[in-house]
Amino acid sequence: MLGYLSRAGYEISPQPEEADVIIVNTCGFIQPARDEAGEGIENALALKKRRPGRRIAVTGCFVERFRSELERKYPDVDVWLGVRDFNHIVEALERKPFKLGPRTYLLGPETPRLLSTPSTWAYLKISEGCSHECAFCAIPLIKGAYRSRSIPSIVAEAQALAESGIKEINLISQDTTYFGRDRRREGELIRLLRRLVRIQGISWIRLLYGYPEEVTPGLLEIMKEEKICSYLDLPFQHSDRGLLRSMRRSMNGPQALRLVETIRKALPDAAIRTSLIVGFPGEGRDEFRALKRFVREAAFDHLGVFTYSPEEGTCALKLGDPVPESEKARRRDEIMALQAELAASVQQKYLHRQLDVLIDPSSPAEREGIVGRARFQAPEVDGVVLIEEGSTVEAPLRPIEKVEITSTGVYDLRGIIVR
């Protein structure tokens, strides 16, 4: 949307108070995200009251899923745009007619782009939608079945990013490991990676959000390429066999632990991130204890926990929501406290090591000085490397610096630049 707006002559302002048009792009995945989106809409409408000529557009997944309810609740919003018509944001704002898209908008080589990430890294979306049938997930209801972009389209975008100075591309999708399977092309992700590693200027390629069941020996082999970060984001969701069956997930705890072992054997420096759900219907004390054992045994580098959110239209809705919200929160906090202990221990292996660090001035930790990320740290979700005072160099900072780690914390590292 920023690309289309910029191409049409709109000036982008980071300050809503200064804008003539405010666009609130929403998530509709789970209730906390919808609550946050609602706050954003209300804040935008409050600014409109101060200046009635200001226009408000609300876009994205929340709109796609609950447009009629939102229109009734927020009648003063000027423009509503779901996930099918991001490419028509200009026409929508200027009240020009356009043909509604039949399904989620898929980026292509013609899509203009205005980067909102820093000068050193970018996201690169390789598909839209999801063809899995997880019982708890509303993504297929919002975005439809999985649709891969073409390899030439992705490579062309990556080439353009490299020419603009980007050093790290983060491949994103509802499921990166499913890439190409919608067109019955097995191994398509491997073919894509082979093309991407040949692009001059790109130093790091990171895979975000894959499915454990789709990690193949071939994928692990291509990940040995120097440019590809030994990093896998694999949401296991839980470890209990019965709960996973209810979730319509096929890999149980023992199988997951074997996969973790296989990954670490193939990629000794591998960093593994996972996501878990607590409070799913049927999760009692025994199932939760088993989940804690699983987390302890796997010793993930990075971990996030969601509390179960019953979603309209999903198969799990019929199971009810028997676990109280307070208990879900308690379980989430307990898992995260355990992960904090494990992460602090895992981090110690980096002490006194020299690491390549991508300078990342967008980090919230920037107020503490120069901030970067190592190859095992994904943007916006993992820890960072804080570069200590006294390590400044006379020459300008390079996009990737060598940093010696001088101390470790629960999630972040500290170090000095070494040249």
What mean pLDDT comes out for the span 17-22? Answer: 95
Q: What pLDDT does residue 94 have?
A: 95
pTM: 0.92
Q: Does the structure show a pLDDT above 60 at 225?
A: yes
How many whole angstroms separate alpha carbon 209 and alpha carbon 273? Answer: 9
| pLDDT score of 419 | 83
Q: With 70 as the cut, is the pLDDT of residue 362 above it? A: no
Rounded to 10 deg, the angle between the 285-298 and 325-347 helix axes is: 20
| CA 126 – CA 175 distance, rounded (Å) | 9
At 154, list the tokens. Answer: 């992705």
Tens digit of pLDDT for each residue in 328-347?
999 999 999 999 999 999 99
- The answer to whether residues 104 and 111 touch, using CB atoms and an 8 Å cutoff, is no
- CA angle, 320 as apex, 314 and 321 as ends, to 5°? 105
What pLDDT is attached to residue 391? 57
pLDDT tens digits along 280-309: 999 999 999 999 999 999 999 999 999 999
pLDDT tens per residue across span 23-70: 999 999 888 999 999 999 999 999 999 998 899 999 999 999 999 999
79-122 pLDDT per residue, tens: 999 999 999 999 999 999 999 889 999 998 889 999 988 889 99
Q: Which residues does residue 307 pair with via DSSP β-bridges, in sequence order?
A: 278
Q: Report yes or no: 405 and 393 within 8 Å, Cβ to Cβ.
A: no
pLDDT at 390 (0 to 100): 60
pLDDT tens figures, 364-415 = 655 667 899 999 999 999 999 999 866 555 667 899 999 999 999 999 999 9
Burial of 261: CB neighbours in 10 Å, binned 0-12, 13-18, 19+: exposed
Is the model's pLDDT at 137 over the cut of 90? Answer: yes
> Do 171 and 124 form a contact (C-beta atoms < 8 A)?
yes
C-alpha torsion sign, points 31, 32, 37, 41: positive
Residue 394 main-chain phi, psi, to 5 deg? -65, -40
Q: What is the DSSP string of 190-244?
A: HHHHHHHTTSTT--EEEE-S--GGG--HHHHHHTTSTTB-SEEE---B---HHHH
Cβ atoms 108, 101 nearer than 8 A: no
Alpha-carbon span 99 to 102, nearest angstrom: 9
Structural domains in the chain plus CATH codes? 2-93 (3.40.50.12160), 121-349 (3.80.30.20), 351-417 (2.40.50.140)
pLDDT, position 223? 97
The chain-wide mean pLDDT, for the chain, equals: 94
